[in-house]
Chains A and B, each alone.
Chain A
Amino acid sequence: MAPPEKKKFQLSIRFCGPKCSSCCMVFSIWGILMLIVLGILFKVKTVSLFEDTDDSSKTGTNCFIAAGIYAGTLLLSLCQRKLNQNRPAAPAHQYAMDSEA
């Protein structure tokens, strides 16, 4: 009885397909990079971003925290990718092998 339960558990963990997880990964990487850069720019009080904030130091910190959240989603999407890769592939050559045996 144990193996089917385990399988069901694994299925429920993998909630993103291969395309979805890759897409989330790309967006997460972009989010981390861009929010870190934005955070630094707010910290050094770049003039172009003046219209966006009253307290640039606090906004800079907010950017870093949001980048942290995206680091979390990056980890999540990497896990999903891994699960997708480990998933047994469709039995593409199974029949051919059977016939040779």
Chain B
Amino acid sequence: MGSMFRSEEMSLVQMIIPTDAAYEVVGQLGELGIAQFRDLNPEVSAFQRHYVNEVRRCDEMERRVRFFELQLGKAEIPIPDVEEVPSEVGRSSASHPSPQQMDELEYKFTQLDKELKEINTNEEMLDRNNLELTELSHILRSTREFFEEAQTHNFDDNSAAAPGGRDEHASLLGDAEAGAVYGAHTVRVGFVAGAIPRERIPVFERVLWRATRGNAFLRHAPVDADLTDPTTNTVVPKSVFLVFFQGDQLEARVRKIAEGFSATIYPCPQTANERYDLGLQVAQRLQDLESVLKKTRDHRRRVLATVALQISSWSIQIKKIKGIFHTLNMFNIDASSKCLVSEAWVPNCFLPDMRGALSRATERSSSTIPPIVHVLATRLKPPTFHRLNKFTAGFQNIVDAYGVASYREVNPAPFAIITFPFLFAVMFGDFGHGFLMALAAWALIHWEKPLARYKEGGEIFDTFFGGRYIILLMGLFSIYTGLIYNDIFSRSVDFFGSGWDVPSVTKVVVGNWTGYSGTFNGTFYDGLTHNTSLPEDLYLDPLWNTHTYVFGMDPVWAMAENRLTFLNPYKMKMSVILGVCQMLFGIVLGVFNHTYFKRTLNIVCEFIPQVLFLLCIFGYLVLMIFYKWANFWPHSKAPSLLITLINMFLKFGNIETEDILYGAEGAQANLQSALVIIALMCVPWMLIPKPYLLIRANKRHAHAPLHDHDDQGHLLGGEEHAAPQVAAVKAADEPEEESHEPGEIIVHQCIHTIEFCLGCISNTASYLRLWALSLAHAQLSEVLWDMVMHAGFGNPALLFFAWGGWAFLTIAVLLIMEGLSAFLHALRLHWVEFQNKFYEGTGRKFHPFSFEALIKGQDEE
């Protein structure tokens, strides 16, 4: 039965599995996700475990998949989701792969890895060739340009006076050319040509100058084409250079310097004709290279495209295999290494499923011996598991964020489904805001499936999306409380006709005229609309009330000057009533824990005095609140409840005349004295009997050594215990004694008692936040309307902007900011004020081995 009230009953199951079927068994259980395996060899390090080689193989395959992903990213090929891949490719991801498939996968990966690496080296080599040829062609072109330029300058040399330095260079160049080409009788002038990263040119030039003592001359020109370095794949701006010099010694020196600057030097023919021929050759080779490169790239792209289709399902499969081997590493290996022994927590409701999975696994692995399964009796605390659906999961998360319920403890989550949105709505009461909130949540729910796959929203969006059902309920409850408060974007609506009949003596202002309005017979508003004016200083007097408004606040209060004097005490009292009810409910829930865990002592020594204490003080306050609401003090000041409550203690046995609420003077005083005596008696009742009885019981335990043996809380595993202990599971639920030292017991009880008594007072005061936040919300939305909307009513264009600003601020401030603040306060009221009355929250969550969780959790790791 899927009840949320308590967590599911758990069994510790021992399985003895033949080694050849173990992989399949874990795989089947992983598909179902129903078993949490215990680590049976925690003292063994990760490297000494049995299946460490398999895990290492999986790591290697994961590395390969990452390499493929990197390649895909470089080639800018998108990786489709598993759902988008055609079924015949993605089908293998539906169930976990067998060990044979793992081998196949590994082989496939090795092949692919080799192929891709080969293609990559080829491509890099081709790219390098391409780069070199391109550089060479640039060098040839610039060399030609240099010499042509030099020649023209040479001719001009005598005729025109060109600017100094340049002219010198030109003539030198001319000489060089002459020397190189024709110079049989001059000293040989040689040159070295190459390419160098552009930013190194100035330094290169300076070093050359120094090293050759000015006897080398450098010409350089930037290469305008983008040259990509094949190893780093970045664009490096380069320049080509020509260095002219005389003699072989200098040549060697120049070459060395150029190498030192990581320049590439290309053999450049000396004569113009040879250079021209080489240019043609280079162009031809470049063309060939281009077509080869294109083919290589196409091939690579084809290979990667097939990889892209399968890569998601591959990585899922590897995750599954790795998960299975990790789990297998937790198992104990039998001495004969013929079978594995494992222990797992399984919810009782899933035990039949587990047996089904085991028999399926035996079938699939064609093992002859079925695994042996039995339930172990244990004193270990089982993990907590609640069966949830997408609606209840959000509320369980709220509770789990505070503390995971102890095993089989009363779970506050099912009650939070109603109380949480309700307390939120008390603070957030506005029909308009609630409606918008519910609408937004409805949109999240309506487009649930596409939004669940939307991953770019970030953490904030995920939080809102995860809490969509909570937000929906919060919105709906806010609509309800908004109707009670009669607030729609801070304005009131008159649905049923006001119950107030304001007499004619009210002062009204019409334009400059101040006077007294006519009678408002029955309907208050008609008179007002007729006069298009407002009664100033409209202080509503209870005597004018003719009947109660049908539902919620009477809309007339929206116009009354004494609105807040009425609303504040009303909401304050409401908060106290709600708070006392919720705290009382929390204490009562404790009884279910006490009876379930058979702690009769706690019922007598904790539950009864706690209830009496709360009811005698705050229960009485609630009764007084109702009494005061029901009665009417027309001519005298009504007694203040808070003062009355305080005086109940301070002026014990007496009563001030202004505190008298009901009955004769003596009656109220006597009743209050009796309540105070009962409440004060509850304190020692909570404090003394329980530690006394516990200590006495412990002393008796000490005389009975048999019990001590049981108290160790050790696992009663092993073969000799296994058979008779199925019936003993129930005994494992018995609580472990928290402490045995008498001092500890007494201190613990003292803290507990003081915490409860002070807590009752401070928690009741804490519930006043319901009133405070509700007031703040109502006032803020009224201020927003008055400051922003009000300003725009005179002019349509202004109204357009005023409404836009108002709508934006309503969303940003009133819905999101105020909503978050009210949410946090509601959370606090549940965690602190409600749950500390009964909830331990010291359990640990059930984490079954499940492929689904493995695949989903890939980002968390």
Which residues of A are interface residues toward B (Cβ below 8 A)?
27, 30-31, 34-35, 45-54, 56, 59, 61-63, 65-66, 69-70, 92-93, 95-96, 98-99
A50 & B534 in contact (Cβ 8 Å cutoff): yes
From known contacts A50-B559, A99-B301, infer whether A65 and B796 are also in contact, taking CB-CB under 8 Å.
Answer: yes
Query: 29 A-B Cβ contacts within 8 A?
Result: A31-B803, A31-B804, A35-B799, A46-B494, A47-B529, A48-B492, A48-B555, A50-B534, A50-B559, A51-B534, A51-B559, A51-B786, A51-B790, A53-B793, A54-B532, A61-B796, A62-B796, A66-B792, A66-B796, A66-B799, A69-B796, A70-B803, A92-B80, A93-B80, A95-B304, A99-B301, A99-B302, A99-B305, A99-B306
A30 & B807 in contact (Cβ 8 Å cutoff): yes
B794 is an interface residue with CB less than 8 A from chain A: yes
Q: How far is the CA of A66 from the CA of B77 in the complex (A)?
A: 49
Q: How far is the CA of A70 from the CA of B796 in the complex (A)?
A: 11
Q: How far is the CA of A28 from the CA of B625 in the complex (A)?
A: 47
Q: Which residues of A contact B790 (CB under 8 A)?
A: 51-52
Q: How far is the CA of A95 from the CA of B559 in the complex (A)?
A: 68
Within 8 A of A (CB), among B784-804: 786, 789-790, 792-797, 799-800, 803-804
B525 is an interface residue with CB less than 8 A from chain A: yes
Within 8 A of A (CB), among B530-557: 532, 534, 555
Q: How far is the CA of A70 from the CA of B283 in the complex (A)?
A: 65
Q: Which residues of B contact A66 (CB under 8 A)?
A: 792, 796-797, 799-800, 803
Candidate in B534, B555, B794, B803 with the most chain A CB atoms within 10 angstroms: B803
Candidate in B793, B794, B796, B807 with the most chain A CB atoms within 10 angstroms: B793
Cβ 8 A contact of B807, one of A31, A50, A54: A31
Q: Which residues of B contact A63 (CB under 8 A)?
A: 793, 796, 799
B518 is an interface residue with CB less than 8 A from chain A: no
Q: How far is the CA of A22 from the CA of B75 in the complex (A)?
A: 33
Q: Which residues of B contact A92 (CB under 8 A)?
A: 78, 80
Closest 6 CB pairs of A and B: A99-B305, A65-B796, A66-B799, A47-B525, A62-B796, A45-B529
B793 & A48 in contact (Cβ 8 Å cutoff): no
Q: Which residues of A contact B773 (CB under 8 A)?
A: none
Candidate in A45, A48, A61 with the most chain B CB atoms within 10 angstroms: A48
Chain A nearest CB from B424 CB (Å) reads 23
Q: Which residues of A contact B559 (CB under 8 A)?
A: 47, 50-51
Q: How far is the CA of A95 from the CA of B799 in the complex (A)?
A: 52
Q: How far is the CA of A63 from the CA of B606 in the complex (A)?
A: 63
B493 & A48 in contact (Cβ 8 Å cutoff): yes
Q: How far is the CA of A51 from the CA of B305 in the complex (A)?
A: 68
Cβ 8 A contact of A98, one of B301, B558, B797: B301
Q: How far is the CA of A66 from the CA of B492 in the complex (A)?
A: 23
Q: How far is the CA of A95 from the CA of B75 in the complex (A)?
A: 10
B12 is an interface residue with CB less than 8 A from chain A: no
Chain B nearest CB from A62 CB (Å) reads 4
Q: How far is the CA of A51 from the CA of B803 in the complex (A)?
A: 17
B494 & A47 in contact (Cβ 8 Å cutoff): yes
B793 & A62 in contact (Cβ 8 Å cutoff): yes
B491 is an interface residue with CB less than 8 A from chain A: yes
B309 is an interface residue with CB less than 8 A from chain A: yes
Binding site secondary structure of chain B: helix
Chain A nearest CB from B166 CB (Å) reads 43
B308 is an interface residue with CB less than 8 A from chain A: yes
Chain B nearest CB from A88 CB (Å) reads 15
Interface string of B589-620 (1 = CB under 8 A from A): 00000000000000000000000000000000
B528 is an interface residue with CB less than 8 A from chain A: yes
Q: Which residues of B contact A35 (CB under 8 A)?
A: 799, 803
Q: Which residues of B contact A61 (CB under 8 A)?
A: 796
From known contacts A59-B793, A98-B305, infer whether A48 and B799 are also in contact, taking CB-CB under 8 Å.
Answer: no
Nearest chain B residue, comparing its CB with the CB of A59? B793
Q: Which residues of A contact B804 (CB under 8 A)?
A: 27, 31
Chain B nearest CB from A39 CB (Å) reads 10
From known contacts A45-B529, A59-B793, infer whether A96 and B491 are also in contact, taking CB-CB under 8 Å.
Answer: no
Nearest chain B residue, comparing its CB with the CB of A65? B796
B807 & A96 in contact (Cβ 8 Å cutoff): no
Q: Which residues of B contact A70 (CB under 8 A)?
A: 800, 803
Chain A nearest CB from B831 CB (Å) reads 35
Q: Which residues of A contact B786 (CB under 8 A)?
A: 51
Q: How far is the CA of A66 from the CA of B790 in the complex (A)?
A: 14
Q: Which residues of A contact B78 (CB under 8 A)?
A: 92-93, 95
Nearest chain B residue, comparing its CB with the CB of A56? B532
Nearest chain B residue, comparing its CB with the CB of A62? B796
A69 & B301 in contact (Cβ 8 Å cutoff): no
Nearest chain B residue, comparing its CB with the CB of A49? B491
Q: How far is the CA of A31 from the CA of B529 in the complex (A)?
A: 27
B799 & A62 in contact (Cβ 8 Å cutoff): yes
Q: Which residues of B contact A51 (CB under 8 A)?
A: 534, 559, 786, 790
Q: Which residues of B contact A99 (CB under 8 A)?
A: 301-302, 305-306
Q: How far is the CA of A33 from the CA of B797 in the complex (A)?
A: 17
Chain A nearest CB from B206 CB (Å) reads 48
Q: How far is the CA of A69 from the CA of B795 in the complex (A)?
A: 12
Q: Which residues of A contact B302 (CB under 8 A)?
A: 99
Candidate in A34, A46, A47, A62 with the most chain B CB atoms within 10 angstroms: A47
Q: Which residues of B contact A95 (CB under 8 A)?
A: 75, 77-78, 301, 304-305, 308
Candidate in B78, B789, B800 with the most chain A CB atoms within 10 angstroms: B800
Q: Which residues of A contact B492 (CB under 8 A)?
A: 48
Nearest chain A residue, comparing its CB with the CB of B78? A92
Q: How far is the CA of A49 from the CA of B308 in the complex (A)?
A: 63
Q: Which residues of A contact B793 (CB under 8 A)?
A: 52-53, 59, 62-63
Nearest chain B residue, comparing its CB with the CB of A34? B803
Q: Which residues of A contact B555 (CB under 8 A)?
A: 47-48
Chain B nearest CB from A72 CB (Å) reads 10
Nearest chain A residue, comparing its CB with the CB of B793? A59
Q: How far is the CA of A46 from the CA of B495 in the complex (A)?
A: 11
Q: How far is the CA of A61 from the CA of B494 in the complex (A)?
A: 22
Chain A nearest CB from B641 CB (Å) reads 32
Q: Which residues of A contact B528 (CB under 8 A)?
A: 47, 50
Q: How far is the CA of A21 from the CA of B29 in the complex (A)?
A: 48
